[in-house]
């Protein structure tokens, strides 16, 4: 994948360990439920020590957000590349959405690699308020990174904030569609963007002006 | 206001008591912080008994979401009225957004009555994960009610979900603008919708198709 970060042998080994812990944890969460699983259980299943676990994750909740840093980097890199030729973005919502779309697409392509965990992850977050709060914080991190990238390329703050929120809504709609139909995530998120891009703005403008 | 629910003498008295408890609680939260305030403090400040407090609210957190039922009813009523002449909504995102806009406008007009509490409320929710979870649940309730109303008027499920999410993003952008600039909430939310309705769909379509 063109969006992978540079790898070295040591980094590859670290990634393998992290992936093994993540797989072990998610398998156990699916088998026994989130609350019944301890860090010791996860470490045993992944065949690592507890101290190794804690070198990678602060606690068992953090495992569900394992890719956060990498996803954030992908989002920023892809947004940056898309924004370059459009700089300065100014108050153009279309340009800001083009940047947000590029960032989200890179993100969803990476998430799609773990698509077998999407439904479990969504259910666990939904059922556990403390995971919900952490999920919200991470999600806000993506939105904030998107806004920051657009503003670095000259987007008006209001426009950047609106575009990031609209893009997050397209992601949510696509994510829901993936969970409901099994359609792959990048295609589902892209479909939401396409529907937004095909909106009848004339009808919308007339109705809003009429109130 | 045309969107007020029917009132009787008893309902007006109940509303006065509920408003007095809400004002007392928010004043105390502002003075001492959320954690330091007890239900007994709130009841004393509102000059009611603890049992009266609990007739209106399950706990002190619930005070921050006092208007939820009324706002939900306003949202549904205004969405229903807007959807009527557009039925069946089908897969038209513009029509679904027109309905969502009407519902949100009714909601923001009612919230604007308590605009002096908007910033405090936003800060408290931001600082307390347990309030965040409850806020999320309520917010999802609005989105779900919007989707349900649109679908009752024949909207395709995917279109209804996308429109509700996009409308929520417009609300969030407007809310942020109100907190940042003091602009009144209905105007700020409307401005976000206008910017969305003015988006250059040609540029957006070309860019999305190009990936």
Q: What is the pLDDT of residues A148-183, one digit of tens each?
A: 999 999 999 999 999 999 999 999 999 999 999 989
Greatest mean pLDDT range, A113-122, A154-163, B131-140: A154-163
Is the confidence at residue B93, as pLDDT, over 80? yes
Whose CA is closest to B44, among B62, B30, B28? B28
The pLDDT assigned to A3 comes to 47
3-class secondary-structure state, position B200: coil
Tell me the C-alpha distance between B177 and A111, whole Å. 32
B194 → closest Cβ in A101, A177, A208: A208
In this structure, what is the dihedral angle of CA atoms A125, A126, A129, A133, given to the nearest 10 degrees? 60
Q: Token pair of A116, please?
A: 């077998």
3-class secondary-structure state, position A22: helix
In this structure, what is the dihedral angle of CA atoms A59, A62, A66, A71, given to the nearest 10 degrees? -140
Q: pTM to 2 decimals?
A: 0.88
A132 — contact with chain B (CB < 8 Å)? Answer: yes
Tell me the C-alpha distance between B144 and B138, whole Å. 10
Would you tell me how many other CB atoms lie within 10 Å of the CB of residue A143?
Answer: 20
Does B208 contact A190 at a Cβ distance shorter than 8 Å? yes
- List chain A residues with CB under 8 Å of B93: 195-196, 198-200
Q: Which residues pair with A90 in a beta bridge?
A: A155
A81 — contact with chain B (CB < 8 Å)? Answer: no
In this structure, what is the dihedral angle of CA atoms A44, A50, A53, A57, given to the nearest 10 degrees? 130
Would you tell me how many other CB atoms lie within 10 Å of the CB of residue B67?
Answer: 18
ipTM: 0.86
């Amino acid at each position: 994948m063109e969006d992978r970060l540079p790898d070295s042998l040591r980094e590859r080994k670290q990634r393998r360990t992290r992936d093994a812990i993540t797989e072990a944890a998610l398998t156990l969460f699916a088998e026994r439920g989130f609350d019944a699983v301890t860090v010791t259980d996860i470490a045993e299943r992944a065949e690592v020590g507890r101290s190794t676990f804690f070198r990678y994750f602060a606690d068992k909740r953090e495992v569900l957000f394992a890719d956060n840093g990498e996803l954030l980097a992908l989002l920023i890199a892809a947004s940056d590349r898309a924004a370059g030729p459009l700089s300065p973005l100014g108050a153009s919502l279309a340009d800001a959405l083009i940047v947000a779309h590029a960032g989200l697409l890179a993100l969803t392509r990476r998430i799609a690699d773990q698509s077998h965990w999407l439904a479990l992850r969504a259910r666990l977050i939904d059922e556990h308020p403390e995971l919900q709060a952490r999920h919200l914080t991470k999600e806000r991190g993506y939105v904030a990174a998107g806004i920051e990238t657009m503003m670095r390329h000259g987007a008006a703050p209001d426009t950047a904030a609106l575009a990031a929120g609209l893009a997050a809504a397209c992601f949510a709609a696509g994510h829901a569609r993936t969970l409901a139909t099994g359609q792959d995530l990048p295609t589902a998120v892209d479909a939401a963007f396409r529907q937004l891009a095909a909106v009848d703005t004339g009808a919308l403008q007339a109705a809003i002006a009429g109130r």
